[in-house]
């Protein structure tokens, strides 16, 4: 009989605190999501991008020229945003060298 009393007490406590727990979970989730959304974009150099994609620099230049990967020019440097690299990979573009 004590076990059933314990269970009913546990259920009563859970039903009493459940709305508070749900509210706490919602607030924590919102804070975590707001921090991850405000993340600064990551940029890679030409060499780093080529290494990530396992391609050569001339192939990367061709892909950029063809518009398959978007680059940004900062001064004299060409940088690639991580999202642009992810987009190119998601499109499952074949990055092979092509002959003339």
Q: What is the pLDDT of residues 25-77, one digit of tens each?
A: 888 888 777 766 656 678 999 999 999 888 899 989 998 998 888 899 989 99
Its pTM stands at: 0.53
- CA–CA distance, 100 with 62 (Å, rounded to integer): 12
Length of the chain: 100
Contact between 69 and 29 under an 8 Å Cβ cutoff? The reply is no
Q: Which tens digit of pLDDT belongs to each residue from 75-98?
A: 999 999 988 888 888 876 565 555
């Amino acid at each position: 009989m004590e076990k059933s009393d314990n269970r009913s007490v546990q259920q009563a406590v859970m039903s009493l605190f459940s709305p508070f727990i749900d509210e706490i979970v919602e607030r924590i989730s919102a804070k975590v999501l707001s921090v991850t959304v405000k993340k600064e974009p990551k940029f890679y150099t030409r060499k780093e991008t080529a290494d990530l994609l396992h391609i050569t620099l001339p192939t990367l230049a061709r892909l950029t020229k063809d518009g398959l990967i978007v680059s940004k020019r900062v001064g004299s440097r060409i940088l690639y945003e991580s999202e642009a690299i992810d987009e190119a990979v998601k499109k499952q573009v074949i990055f092979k060298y092509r002959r003339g």
